[in-house]
Structure 1
Amino acid sequence: MDARQTVFIVEDDFLIMEYLRELSEEIGLGVTGTCDVAEEAVEQIQALHPDYVFMDLRLRGEGEGVDVAMAIQARLPETKIVYITGSNEPASLSRISQDHPHRVLIKPVVEADLRRAVGMAPRGSVAAGPLS
């Protein structure tokens, strides 16, 4: 049985989606799926029950990332939403904050950002152990 943390990626830009998928796999997350359409994302996430959702604000279809996140949180409150957006405008950040996200990352996202968002130690860090 695979005990890795899992993530579902909701992103409307194919290249960014693939970058996030590859980066997630490199840091040891199991990617359960990807989607770029709001309505489909809700259905797939509810079926797959990932630990995390990396959520873009702007999506294809009806609704945006906050709408998807709120629908997910209503049914899967244990799923952590990490917004990954290119918009750091006050109105966008205010809309995101209504959902009480686990984290908000502003694009471009790098490995250290994703590691922090899912509670992983930065690459190369050594966990503190008992002193001898």
Structure 2
Amino acid sequence: MSQPTTILIIEDEMIIAANISLQLTTLGYEVTGIIPRGEEALMHIEQQQPEIVLLDINLKGKIDGIETAKIMQRSYNIPIIYLTANADEANFNRAKETNPYAFISKPFKKLDLQRAIELTVARIEAENNPKSTSEDKLAPYILSDSIFVKHLEKMVRIDIKDILYIEAERNYCRIYTKSKEYLLVMTLKDLDEKLPSKHFIRVHRSFIVNVSQIDELAANHIVIGKKAIPVSKALKEELLNRLQTI
């Protein structure tokens, strides 16, 4: 079985750090340490390299988070996600030089943290598999009644009847079910071509919906599980035709 992604937290506000650690563990990641100072973090990384570093920009001590990142990058190529309470223009420009994978502003919501980590993991996978296409191991396997998608480095099965809708996030897709979300390294267009048309329909450039899950139909949107999803004019007629044939 695949090992969970390892993450180091470099944060000097220990209550925040402990909260982040708990959230990451709940999401299935492995926290390799919680370290309050950049100097200590660099020593830790020499002994135990994580796959991702969550790094507070405004660290107390001799070196701040950005300087810590610069020193780390001389020896290691570890993706960085910055945490910041007040990134002014000067610090933001300094931070950009280290090519971070994401910025999370404090105070942040659990979903902000989750998505930043998921997108970073997906980007790492894509970079490690530069020839990845919708046909390779990152792509979902479509069966008649379910699909298998990559989630936390495992292939998990999702019953088609449980899928509510799918939303585009640039070159990624997020599948929403009643209880979970799954991020795919795949465009909505590519996924639309693979999904069984008898169950799914594209209603907007950013949304595919499970026809059987539609609760309400309004003038310019539909409702699924209390979520209002826009319907584009160009696709509305096809949607109405589909609903009439069910």
TM-score range, shorter chain: 0.7 to 0.9
Per the TM alignment, residue 107 of structure 1 is displaced from its structure 2 partner at its CA by: 0.7
Distance of 2:53 and 2:15 partners within structure 1: 18
Distance 2:114 2:15 in 1: 20
Q: Is the 8 A contact 1:46 1:76 kept in 2?
A: no
5 Å-filtered alignment, 1:1-132, equals 3-77=3-77, 79-119=78-118, 124-125=180-181, 130-132=194-196
**Higher mean displacement: 95-104 or 121-130:** 121-130
One-letter amino acid of the counterpart of residue 27, structure 2:
I
Secondary structure class of the residue paired with 1:96: helix
Tell whether the 8 Å contact from 1:81 to 1:101 is kept in structure 2 after alignment: yes
1:76–1:131 CA distance, 2 compared to 1 (3 A)? same
Q: Percent identity among equivalent residues?
A: 27
Amino acid at match of 1:101: P
Q: Deviations over 1:48-67 (max 9, x none)?
A: 11111100012232110011
What's the secondary structure of 1:88's corresponding residue? coil
Gaps spanning 5+ residues in structure 1: where?
none
Local SS of the residue matching 1:75: coil
Give the alignment's Cα RMSD to 1 decimal.
2.2
Distance in 1 of aligned mates of 2:81 and 2:65: 10
Q: Highest CA radius of gyration, 1 or 2?
A: 2
By how many angstroms is 1:108 displaced? 1.2
Q: For residues 25 and 63 of structure 1, what CA distance do their matches in structure 2 show?
A: 28
| TM-score of the pair, normalised by structure 1 | 0.87
Deviation at residue 46 of structure 1 after TM alignment: 2.6
- CA displacement 1:77-105 (0-9 Å, x = unmatched): 1x110001101321221121121111111
Name the amino acid aligned to 2:19: Y
1:113, distance to aligned residue in structure 2 (A): 1.4
Q: Relative contact order, CA 8 A, sep 6+: which one is greater?
A: 1
Task: Name the count of aligned residue pairs.
Answer: 131
| Alpha-carbon distance in structure 2 between the residues aligned to 1:73 and 1:8 | 15
- Which secondary structure does the structure 2 equivalent of 1:82 belong to? strand
- Deviation of the 1:126 alpha carbon: 5.0
- The TM-score, its normalising length taken from structure 2, stands at 0.49
User: CA contact under 8 A between 2:118 and 2:183: conserved in structure 1?
Assistant: no
- Residues of 2 paired with 1:95 and 1:126: CA distance? 33
Greater strand percent: which structure?
Answer: 2
- Partner Cα separation in structure 2 for residue 23 and residue 35 of structure 1: 17
